[in-house]
Structure 1
Amino acid sequence: MSADLMFSLSNGLALLGWLILAFAPRRLSAFPIPTRFVIPAILGVAYAVAIIPGMATAQGDFTSLEGLKQLYATASDPLMVAGWQHYLAFDLFVGTWIAERLDGLGVHRIVQIPILAATFMLGPVGLVLAFALELGLRAWRSRRPAA
Structure 2
Amino acid sequence: MSLEQIFSLSGLIAMTGWAGLVLAPRWTVTRDWLAPVIAPLLIAMVYVWLMTSNSRPEGGGFGSLQEVTLLFSDPHLLLAGWIHYLAFDLFVGAWEVRDAQRQGIHHLLVIPCLFATLMAGPGGLALYWLIRSVVMIIKRRKRQAAEAVL
Say whether the fold is shared (TM-score over 0.5). Answer: yes
Residues 33-112 of structure 1 mapped to structure 2, 5 A cutoff: 33-54=33-54, 56-59=55-58, 60-73=60-73, 75=74, 77-112=75-110
Deviates more, 1:33-42 or 1:99-108: 99-108
Contact 2:109 2:131 in 1 (8 A): no
Structure 2: which amino acid aligns with 1:110?
L
Higher-Rg structure is 2
Distance in 1 of aligned mates of 2:138 and 2:32: 28
Aligned partner of 2:126 in structure 1 is: 128
Distance in 2 of aligned mates of 1:32 and 1:132: 24
CA shift for structure 1 position 53: 1.8
Aligned-residue Cα RMSD (Å) equals: 1.4
TM-score normalized by the length of structure 2: 0.88
Q: Closer, same or farther in 2 for the Cα pair 1:25/1:36, shift >3 Å?
A: closer
Aligned partner of 1:114 in structure 2 is: 112
TM-score normalized by the length of structure 1: 0.90
Stretches of structure 1 that go unaligned for 5 or more consecutive residues are none
Aligned partner of 1:146 in structure 2 is: 146
Structure 2: which amino acid aligns with 1:15?
M
Aligned partner of 2:32 in structure 1 is: 32
CA shift for structure 1 position 7: 0.3
Deviations for 1:81-132, whole angstroms, at most 9, x for unmatched residues? 1111110000000000001111122222222111100001110011001111
Structure 2: which amino acid aligns with 1:79?
L
Distance in 2 of aligned mates of 1:105 and 1:67: 42
Aligned partner of 1:10 in structure 2 is: 10
Distance in 1 of aligned mates of 2:17 and 2:72: 27
- How many residues are matched? 143
| Greater RCO, CA 8 A, separation 6+ | 1
Q: Secondary structure at the match of 2:146?
A: coil
Contact 2:105 2:135 in 1 (8 A): no
The percentage of aligned residue pairs carrying the same residue is 35
Distance in 2 of aligned mates of 1:72 and 1:78: 8
Contact 2:71 2:77 in 1 (8 A): no
Stretches of structure 2 that go unaligned for 5 or more consecutive residues are none
Distance in 1 of aligned mates of 2:28 and 2:56: 44
CA shift for structure 1 position 25: 4.8
CA shift for structure 1 position 137: 1.4
CA shift for structure 1 position 29: 3.5
Structure 2: which amino acid aligns with 1:89?
A
